[in-house]
Amino acid sequence: MESSGRESVHVPKIEICDSPSRDMIQEICCFVNSEADWNQTVFDLEVADGTFAVARNTNNEIIGVSSSHALSPRNLWLGNVCVAKTARRSGLASRLVNSLFDVAAEQRIRSHIVLLASKLGEGVYRRLGFRDVRSVAVASYRRTSLPLPNFSTTVAGRPTAQEHDDAIRLEGEIGGSSRKELLRKLFEKDNLCAVAKTDSSVVAAAWGRYKAPTPSTNEITLHVGPVVAKTPDLAMRVVAELLRMARADDACASTSLPRASALVVRIGDNKASEQVFESLGFEKAIDAPYLQKSIHDGADPSPRDVDLACATDQCYATMWWDIA
């Protein structure tokens, strides 16, 4: 976002795109990946209903972008906030975010916008009025290509269609908000989901997706999440099984497990989620403050209906999303 840069530049009118073409989404991906060394793909930006704010220079080249996505019925999620190096420190990032706020306020379909803040972007968001959701802590965890702990994961496996529907219902109950269509698209893409059952009930589930290499690397990363489970032991087993699935996948055929990442969630003072991932070789990389802002005047400033604020402590990791 707006780090050190150059003098302010003239910024043309910001364009709002509710249904951008695939060509435009591809253009946005190329821009954010080259400017920020990200790994966004067309799938990432098409998978959830999104609105994009785009700024261009006089040569019609993108110099800034941001997006809001309806990842759940409760909130809009803000992400993909990126400004060209030549246009930073000009207030463009704030303009892009505020443009999306104006659209959300007009549509009145959600009450809050939430985001996971990067160290670089956090100051901008706080100046724009975003505040912590104090009951929730999120951190990005990373795992290198280490062997898995040697224990059986026979209680966990890839789900049938009915089991996957049951897992989606469990995620909605525990995770704070239903993401049914999004999880179905996620599973269809990479076929990565592990569930655990007791008797006939699904009691734990972990989803995964492959993240494309960034421009500066050539490594596929498995993102783990969301993860929900009735107990920490079950959470550990479905995550371990997901890693084993990825190891066996042709997309990651190698002599070692692929690198993995997760957005680990701590609800209140319960540190079980961190312990689960650390027991599987994940290490904390960065904190990602979970921030929210009311879209409408008079909305509850400490909302009880923000996604992760409604999650229980049986939520161990949230689904992938941009740390903006």
Q: What is the amino acid identity at position 275?
A: Q
Q: Which among 97, 266, 234 has a CA at the least distance from the CA of 155?
A: 234
Range scoring the smallest mean pLDDT among 177-186, 246-255, 283-292, 309-318: 246-255
**Hey, which bits of the chain come out as E strands?**
15-17, 50-56, 62-69, 76-83, 112-116, 131-132, 136-143, 156-157, 193-198, 201-211, 221-229, 259-267, 283-287, 290-294, 315-318
Mean of all residue pLDDT scores within the chain: 87
pLDDT digits (tens, 9 = 90+) for 78-102: 999 999 999 988 899 999 999 999 9
> Which pLDDT value is given to residue 152?
56
Mean pLDDT computed over 128-141:
94
> Which pLDDT value is given to residue 237?
93
184 has a pLDDT exceeding 50? yes
Mean pLDDT computed over 259-271:
93
292 has a pLDDT exceeding 60? yes
**Percent of the chain scoring above 90 in pLDDT:** 62
Domain boundaries, the chain: 15-110, 136-318
Place of tokens 């209680």: 155
Residue 61's pLDDT band (cuts 50, 70, 90) = very high
Same fold, 15-110 and 136-318: yes
Residue 3's pLDDT band (cuts 50, 70, 90) = very low
- Strands of 290-294's sheet in order across: 15-17, 50-56, 62-69, 76-83, 112-116, 290-294, 131-132
Q: Do β-strands 221-229 and 283-287 pair in parallel, antiparallel, or remain unpaired?
A: unpaired
Distance CA 265, CA 314 (A): 10
Distance CA 77, CA 83 (A): 18
> Which pLDDT value is given to residue 297?
72
Residues comprising the chain, all counted:
324
Distance CA 138, CA 323 (A): 11
6 has a pLDDT exceeding 50? no
Residue 150's pLDDT band (cuts 50, 70, 90) = low
Helix (H/G/I), strand (E/B), else coil: 91: coil
Contact yes or no for 174/315 (Cβ under 8 A): yes
b/e burial code for range 30-58 (CB count within 10 A of at least 16 → b): ebbbebbebbbbeebbebbebbbbbbbbe
177 has a pLDDT exceeding 90? no
> Which pLDDT value is given to residue 303?
67
> Which pLDDT value is given to residue 151?
57
Is 15-110 CATH 3.40.630.30? yes
Distance CA 233, CA 270 (A): 15
Model confidence, pTM: 0.90
The region that residue 37 occupies, defined by phi over 0 for left and psi between -120 and 50 for alpha, beta otherwise, is left
65 has a pLDDT exceeding 80? yes
Pick one of 3.40.366.10, 3.20.20.70, 3.40.50.150, 3.40.630.90 as the CATH number of 136-318.
Answer: 3.40.630.90
pLDDT digits (tens, 9 = 90+) for 9-32: 465 689 999 989 999 999 999 999
Mean pLDDT computed over 118-128:
92
Q: Do β-strands 76-83 and 112-116 pair in parallel, antiparallel, or remain unpaired?
A: parallel
Residue 323's pLDDT band (cuts 50, 70, 90) = confident
